[in-house]
Amino acid sequence: MRFTSQTSSDGVIEQLFTLPFTLGEIPGVLWTPDGTAGTRPLILMGHGGGQHKKAPGIVARARRFAAECGFAVAAIDAPAHGDRPRTKEHNRLIGEMRNRMQTGGDVAPVLAEFHTLLANQSVPEWRAVLDAVQELDHVGAYPVGYWGMSLGCGLGIPFIAAEPRIRAAVLGLNGAETSAEAAAQITVPVEFLVQWDDERVPRAASLALFDLFASAEKTLHANPGKHAEVPMFELDSSLRFFTRHLS
């Protein structure tokens, strides 16, 4: 794991890193509260489709997790996103999705194929990042949470199902198409966000995914509005959810 830059503002240190993995590198970012040593809960954040590790919604949440809760937070570019290379297969599926969006075709099956392709790559990458980050003196081995919406939910579900270090998850804006089998293996507490007027994820698919989680404690929060219009008070709720389950 190699740190390439470090900045500090408003009590939060932000470190960009790259982690060598198989034939390439995983680019990531780590936020930690400034001036406090020792181990702490870690939140792994999975960005949405078309976004990247420093998308505004990721940065804003990560800084609050670090500043208000004292958590460490890590985000990485998902495969084919941000600074990651795209394969021919990535480009073919992205082109097909764009084409169907423009012509009013059915995007869902192509999106499901894309998510499945990325998840096969993403799960071992997240495990490698978690191994590396937990070895850092200012993070350490402590209970871990996962936060991911949309693509970050789709890639997070098989990761959470496979990774016992994850103890709680905030997920949402995704349906049951791609990750049904893994969802049914998740037993940790889940807070699941649904946008009631989501133009990308059918309401029934969201409710079906919530149904699948095997968690004894799972709570669904639905709010009016489109895919990208999650209200900011849900961030307050996420903060409290992780504090309750990781601290």
**C-alpha span between 210 and 212 (Å, rounded):** 5
Q: Which is nearer to a second copy, 112 or 207 (CB)?
A: 207
Q: Which is nearer to a second copy, 27 or 172 (CB)?
A: 172
The set of residues, in sequence order, having a beta carbon less than 8 Å from that of 98 and lying 6+ positions away, is none
Record the tokens describing residue 224, joined without a space.
Answer: 């009016």
Residue 10 region by backbone torsions, left for phi larger than 0, else alpha for psi between -120 and 50, else beta: left
CB of 234 to a second copy, least distance (A): 8
Q: Which is nearer to a second copy, 122 or 238 (CB)?
A: 238
Q: Which is nearer to a second copy, 53 or 218 (CB)?
A: 218
DSSP type of residue 233? H
CB of 50 closer than 8 Å to CB of 66? no
CB of 224 to a second copy, least distance (A): 6
CB of 230 to a second copy, least distance (A): 11
CB of 207 to a second copy, least distance (A): 8
Record the tokens describing residue 220, joined without a space.
Answer: 């669904």
Residue 206 region by backbone torsions, left for phi larger than 0, else alpha for psi between -120 and 50, else beta: alpha
CB of 17 closer than 8 Å to CB of 3? yes
Tokens 């400034």 appear where? 34
CB of 235 to a second copy, least distance (A): 13
Amino acid at 75: A
Give the CA angle between residues 198, 212, 201 to the nearest 5°. 15
CB of 239 to a second copy, least distance (A): 11
The set of residues, in sequence order, having a beta carbon less than 8 Å from that of 7 and lying 6+ positions away, is 13, 14
CB of 192 to a second copy, least distance (A): 9
Q: Which is nearer to a second copy, 3 or 233 (CB)?
A: 233
Q: Which is nearer to a second copy, 4 or 219 (CB)?
A: 219
Q: Which is nearer to a second copy, 23 or 216 (CB)?
A: 216
Please compute Rg for the chain using Cα positions.
17
Q: Which residues bind a second copy (CB under 8 A)?
A: 194, 196, 210-211, 216-224, 231, 233, 236-237, 240, 244
